Amino acid sequence: MPGSALALVLAAALLHALWNFAAKKAGGNHHFALASALTVSVIWLPVVWVVGWDVVAGFDSKTWGVLMATALLHLLYFNALLTGYRLADLTVVYPVARGSAPAMSAIAAVFLLGEHLGLRGGLGLLAVVLGIVLIAAGPGLWRPREGEAHHRRKLGLLWGGITGVLIAGYTVVDGYAIKVLLISPLLLDYFSNLLRVPFMLPGLWRDPQGFAAALSQQWRYVLLVAVCSPLAYILVLYAMQLAPLSRVAPTREVSMLFAALLGGQLLKEGERGWRLAGAACIAGGVIGLSL
């Protein structure tokens, strides 16, 4: 991988972990999702206008259809992620979401497309499963588990898995958009965000006071997400143009370790060492699957 691509991916991994930390701290719902989308639409508009607005006039119906598809997938993904963060810990939801997507893609390729994982891919898949088990079980792996902590862990696994399915979906669509349709990563991210706004406006109309209250309490986190989330994804998309996807994808998963450290250190979530070990297993497993 070229040094420039590596720098882009590592910067994106840190930014990705940071905006997920902000989303977890906000504890937001659909109002937070709408506020973030509106803020992205405003603050990134000057960049889009200067860099590529003239290209938009040449978009055909197929391009707009792909943009709408990725907008809906990203909308479902962000709301599933926020739900997981409200109900469970960052150090459970985030690694499970990021690690389950490539694992599910690999399993689907074996059973549906007749592909073979090979030794390295098989070990990678086992490492992902082991990492999820470590995060899910905690130190009481062989002890009966009950109570609030166990319930939160189960919810984290559930919503992390749902988020992982949606990540796999939008990754396929976005890869097609930039590699086949040759849509600029900046325009892809911006319009996939802009096109999801109309689907969230009914929530504002039903509860304008709730939206205003959420915005007044969470605006700092909204701003951080609106800056870091598009920037992180744009950096990854540009890195995919400079280096093979098989190198970019696994390197990006270092964000799991950043998130595990943030969750343990700043959010004071328990079992930091245990969950960090699980995140490391998942990251290593993703590398094995990708290579």
Task: Convert the pLDDT of each residue in 80-102 to its tens digit.
Answer: 999 998 888 877 888 788 777 76
> How many Cα atoms within 13 Å fall on the side-chain side of residue 256?
32
236 falls in which pLDDT band (50, 70, 90)? confident
d(CA 171, CA 135): 24
221 falls in which pLDDT band (50, 70, 90)? very high
pTM of this structure: 0.79
> Which residue type does 61 have?
S
Sequence-ordered strand ranges (E) for the chain:
none
Task: Convert the pLDDT of each residue in 171-189 to its tens digit.
Answer: 788 878 887 898 888 899 8
- Please list the alpha-helical segments (H only) found in 148-184: 148-179
Secondary structure letter of residue 88 according to DSSP: S
